[in-house]
Structure 1
Amino acid sequence: MKTHKIIILLVAALTFGSCETELELVDYGEINPSIFPKSAADVQAMVDASYYPLRASWWDGINSPSERGIMFANASTTEVLTGDFGVQLNASLLHFTPASSEITFFYDWYYNKISRMTTTIDYIQQADVSEEIKTKAIAEVRCARGMLAYYLYDMYGPIVIAPLEVLKNPLKEEPLPRLSHDEMVNFIEADLKAAAEDLPHPAETEYGRFSKGLAKMLAIRLNLKEKRWDEVNKLADEIITMGYYELDSDYVGMWDLDGARNSQEVIWAIPNNYEGTSENQWQMMALPSNFPGRGGWGTVQSTWWFYDTFEENDVRKTNLIAEYTGTDGITYNRSNPGNNMNLGPLPLKMDADAARTTALSTVDLIQYRYADVLLSKAEAIANHNASGPNEEAMDLVNRVRRRAGLEDLELADYSSLSDFNDMILTERSHEFWCENGQYRADLIRHDKLISRVIEVTQSPYATETDTVFPFSRERISEGKGVFIQNPGYN
């Protein structure tokens, strides 16, 4: 793979601020370290460039709440999202091939961003600025690199990570193999550990930027995937003892226009604005054209299967809209779905932002929350404990449930590990639907993805190899025999 054949493109901000200042695309060509970076402002521009692919943008932001974002694609492989066409239909059926550009796109578009971050770290290390500036800057870039590497690993399995010495010799063609499993995990873990060491405490972190809490939360996700329960428990305790995060009393309010900014439950959110610095297109995705106020394109639905798993009084389904009266005067619901609710309710999740002036919304996109820390710790305790779930694990679950307006669950009803894990999966789906798409990884972790897809959709395509996505034929061809396709996609 010609991973090392890149032209360094830096997406710099005039000032990144709270991640809302408009980002400008600047092509610096091939960076000459004797010229750039030379100042603290240059270093900051390079750091801001590392945030750029992780923002929300239909064109080039991996956290776009559209078919070009990983939440949409990953959640569509679960009971949370589905649709009549596009990636949402194919994902619901686990029906992919190497020609499925709507899913191979994520690797093709973003894998070289990791290489760019690697060279960025090297340039920052050479910059004539203070060690304090370097340390903070490199921590942010390593957090960005660890996050992006984790996202791609989660979707495709181990990927190519070009080493710096290869990137420094771009004229030498050297196809690179994918990392081994252990190499991949160690790479991500090293980045996140280093980032957690040098990033600021969340109380000292500007809204929208990376913090110690985020680096540790990403490490929790990695260790959940690897079923390293003792590490999950340790990391959760480290976040808890920061003394900063707390459950927000108003679940629905976190997705109001200023909800994420004002909530101490939010570990990381992506700020959005009308200028398109970072774009929230979700209302356009989730709402049909005849929705009152301001409608959308109605490209995606949830499933009635998912809706039926909620308890009646669960506030977390408030914006999983099961009935509305359209601008045509017709009331749509399960009995009269029309074309907009034929598969399930509308997965709005957030404020409809009916006063928005464009197709975009200013509601910030929450990616990680403190509730995830508590539920992850509960799962780790139950799975690491030789005797299975205990009262501590159940109390953590009930803390999250109480906020949702629900009664406590009794340990006696979930005393077996299998029952407890099934309950945790349900709680995770109810708590985090349409946030970051990580529920797919939760189902895979407990060997439930394939059976759940078959149960919900009766898909004839779902097989045991579908827990990872295919790579495109272009990447396999470039690999000249050393880049190996995932099983089942040849």
Structure 2
Amino acid sequence: MIMKKIKLIMLGLLIPLTFGCNPELESVNYDEINPAIFPASEADVEALVVAAYYPLRGSWWDGIHTTSENGIMFINDASTEILQGNFGVQQLATLHSYNPTNESVTRYYDRFYNKISSNTLSIDRLEKSSVNDNIKKKGIAELKCARGFLCYELFDMYGPLVVAPLEVLQNPLTETPLARMGYEEMVNFIEKDLLDAAADLPSPAEAAYGRFSQGFARMLLIRLYLHEKRWADVEAQANAIMAMNYYELNPDYVGMFSTASQADNKEVMFAVPADYAGTSENQWQMMVLPSNYPERGGWATIQSSWQFYDSFESNDVRKTNLIAEYTGTDGVTYNRSNPSNVMQMGPLPLKIAADADRSTALTTVDIILYRYADVILSKAEAIANKNGAPNQESIDLVNMIRERANLDPIKLVDYADIDSFNDMILLERSHEYWCENGQYRSDLIRHGKFSEHNIELNGASSQTAPYKVLYPFSLERISEGKGAFKQNPGYN
């Protein structure tokens, strides 16, 4: 990485600092302020913090959680049986055929790695400021959570990242090619950010909807610890979240993805608020629905797979919006027997409400990324794998989720060994979280099933390989690293 790529950070974030959860915040241009005296007020701190949320929103061009083909849910779920595509990045992901020349795959690192540096500089500015200590502490906690969140998501996709040290960022005119962090160093960096954030963020009851909380920081720690198979740490974080006595399962699974506000939903641990103004966008209906879908159609860019659809039990409410049949505006009924070119790979993975009243490509259905159900299933997995075999507690936790899905409880005797339990928990995770945060890919990788599932889905067309568990970096990043930045194995 050559330093011209991060010079702009020193000039400031040349973007309007607005986010869906704070629509009245005025825009700030950092090239018009003096870093030596900024931040000096609570409003300044808020501006810094909201800037950290900006790349985490849903936006087609520069929001990592866009529900379009430019978002990480789209590509990550498309690398599993949950989503399939026959063109574009969705086809690359479906066949595991991605390589370093595919900008649609390398773009997530290229577009967002400098946001980590932005947060580092903001944390330093805030630490050195003279603002009220309580305001400072909360602001730093949100900035560290944003940095840890973004680092985890990119680390999960690409492996260790380049994280520019503060002293390098403070000397942008000096060209300093940087290497990627070592693996353990990367894990420790993310862990420290999230532990610090969990200590100083507001409680879930006090945090504003769409903002970080202690519970969410601990949820991210669970994801990190699952990634590292640190089962005891997963269980400890799950217990800490449960001890907050705040979160609970919402009895209406389908209703969580409706046009109704989820601001008071105690299952939601973090959501990106969406609006029609484009401050933070949800385009999912346009991605999924065919042009002839009743009332209002879309672009039909992605489908699910019949393999995934058939893995559900018949009465599972979680497949309600996995649309296996519809009658189009042309009067034709489309289904598996008559798929045309809209269901030839699988059903329509709508997940959220069709929202026929949407006036543009956008919807007001919020982008839910993490829910309390994940805490419950993560704890069940951790208990079983820590002990080398499931016990009744791990089975009871799974049954909490199954009961909400209108399913019969499972029995310990049927999942007495760790392999059968893990196969079951992977299936439950795919059914519970499809088309939310794209983490099922990481679940498959954790249990050594990523390539196996791809071959089952695609047969001889699959181009999977063990090294495909990580995406490649772009040739531009490798070139500008001048030997310090190493490509992921298998892509050279």
The two structures share one fold, judged by TM-score above 0.5: yes
What secondary structure sits across from 1:329 in the alignment?
coil
The residue type paired with residue 425 of structure 1 is L
What secondary structure sits across from 1:366 in the alignment?
strand
What secondary structure sits across from 1:149 in the alignment?
helix
Question: Which of 10, 20, 26 is 2:13 aligned to?
Answer: 10
CA distance in 1, matches of 2:17, 2:94: 41
CA distance in 1, matches of 2:355, 2:490: 43
Structure 1 residue aligned with 2:273: 271
CA distance in 2, matches of 1:153, 1:365: 22
Deviation at 1:29, TM superposition (A): 2.5
CA distance in 1, matches of 2:60, 2:400: 36
Question: Which of 202, 225, 228 is 1:226 aligned to?
Answer: 228
CA distance in 1, matches of 2:399, 2:16: 43
**Partner deviation per Cα, 1:378-420 (whole Å, 9 max, x = no partner):** 000000014x100000000000000000000111111110000
Deviation at 1:37, TM superposition (A): 1.9
What secondary structure sits across from 1:268 in the alignment?
strand
Structure 2 residue aligned with 1:435: 436
Q: Which moves more between the two structures, 314-323 or 456-465?
A: 456-465
**Partner deviation per Cα, 1:92-121 (whole Å, 9 max, x = no partner):** 111011101001000000000000000000
Q: Which moves more between the two structures, 197-206 or 251-260?
A: 251-260
Structure 2 residue 208 is matched with structure 1 residue 206: yes
**Are the aligned partners of 2:7 and 2:173 in contact in 1 as well (CA < 8 Å)?**
no
**Are the aligned partners of 1:33 and 1:126 in contact in 2 as well (CA < 8 Å)?**
no
**Are the aligned partners of 1:20 and 1:273 in contact in 2 as well (CA < 8 Å)?**
no
Alignment of 1:44-55 (within 5 A): 44-55=46-57
**Are the aligned partners of 1:64 and 1:280 in contact in 2 as well (CA < 8 Å)?**
yes
The residue type paired with residue 133 of structure 1 is I
Show structure 1 runs of 4+ deviating over 4 A.
11-16, 22-26
Deviation at 1:39, TM superposition (A): 1.5
Deviation at 1:457, TM superposition (A): 1.0
**Partner deviation per Cα, 1:4-41 (whole Å, 9 max, x = no partner):** 7321233676776x715167764422863323222211
Q: Which moves more between the two structures, 119-128 or 462-471?
A: 119-128
**Partner deviation per Cα, 1:274-323 (whole Å, 9 max, x = no partner):** 00110000000011110001111010000000000000000000000000
Question: Which of 466, 469, 480 is 1:467 aligned to?
Answer: 469
Structure 1 residue aligned with 2:318: 316
CA distance in 1, matches of 2:161, 2:237: 25
**Are the aligned partners of 1:199 and 1:210 in contact in 2 as well (CA < 8 Å)?**
yes
TM-score, normalised to structure 2's length?
Answer: 0.97
**Are the aligned partners of 1:271 and 1:364 in contact in 2 as well (CA < 8 Å)?**
yes
Structure 1 residue aligned with 2:335: 333
TM-score, normalised to structure 1's length?
Answer: 0.97
RMSD: 1.4
In structure 2, the CA distance between the partners of 1:11 and 1:393, relative to structure 1 (3 Å rule), is farther
**Are the aligned partners of 2:119 and 2:143 in contact in 1 as well (CA < 8 Å)?**
yes
CA distance in 1, matches of 2:186, 2:294: 47
Of all paired residues, the percent bearing the same amino acid is 61
Question: Which of 299, 302, 305 is 1:303 aligned to?
Answer: 305
The residue type paired with residue 328 of structure 1 is D
CA distance in 2, matches of 1:32, 1:172: 21
**Are the aligned partners of 2:478 and 2:487 in contact in 1 as well (CA < 8 Å)?**
yes
Deviation at 1:126, TM superposition (A): 1.9
Structure 2 residue 86 is matched with structure 1 residue 84: yes
**Partner deviation per Cα, 1:69-106 (whole Å, 9 max, x = no partner):** 00001000000001110111110111011101001000
Number of residues of Structure 1 aligned to a counterpart in Structure 2: 488
CA distance in 1, matches of 2:139, 2:130: 13
Question: Which of 133, 139, 142 is 2:141 aligned to?
Answer: 139
5+ residue gaps, structure 1: none
What secondary structure sits across from 1:59 in the alignment?
coil
CA distance in 2, matches of 1:230, 1:104: 34
CA distance in 2, matches of 1:346, 1:461: 24
Structure 2 residue aligned with 1:367: 369
Structure 1 residue aligned with 2:408: 407
In structure 2, the CA distance between the partners of 1:188 and 1:170, relative to structure 1 (3 Å rule), is same
Deviation at 1:260, TM superposition (A): 2.4
CA distance in 1, matches of 2:210, 2:242: 20
What secondary structure sits across from 1:202 in the alignment?
coil
CA distance in 2, matches of 1:14, 1:153: 26
**Are the aligned partners of 1:74 and 1:437 in contact in 2 as well (CA < 8 Å)?**
yes
**Partner deviation per Cα, 1:114-154 (whole Å, 9 max, x = no partner):** 00000000111122211111000000000000000000000
Question: Which of 473, 478, 481 is 1:479 aligned to?
Answer: 481
The residue type paired with residue 41 of structure 2 is S
**Partner deviation per Cα, 1:347-389 (whole Å, 9 max, x = no partner):** 0001111001111000001000000000000000000014x10
Structure 2 residue aligned with 1:456: 457
5+ residue gaps, structure 2: none
CA distance in 2, matches of 1:267, 1:12: 27
**Are the aligned partners of 1:156 and 1:470 in contact in 2 as well (CA < 8 Å)?**
yes
Deviation at 1:202, TM superposition (A): 0.4
Question: Which of 158, 172, 185 is 1:183 aligned to?
Answer: 185
What secondary structure sits across from 1:342 in the alignment?
coil
Structure 2 residue aligned with 1:422: 423
Structure 2 residue aligned with 1:289: 291
Question: Which of 17, 24, 30 is 1:28 aligned to?
Answer: 30
CA distance in 2, matches of 1:7, 1:127: 22
**Are the aligned partners of 1:13 and 1:45 in contact in 2 as well (CA < 8 Å)?**
no
In structure 2, the CA distance between the partners of 1:407 and 1:363, relative to structure 1 (3 Å rule), is same
Structure 1 residue aligned with 2:124: 122
Structure 2 residue aligned with 1:345: 347
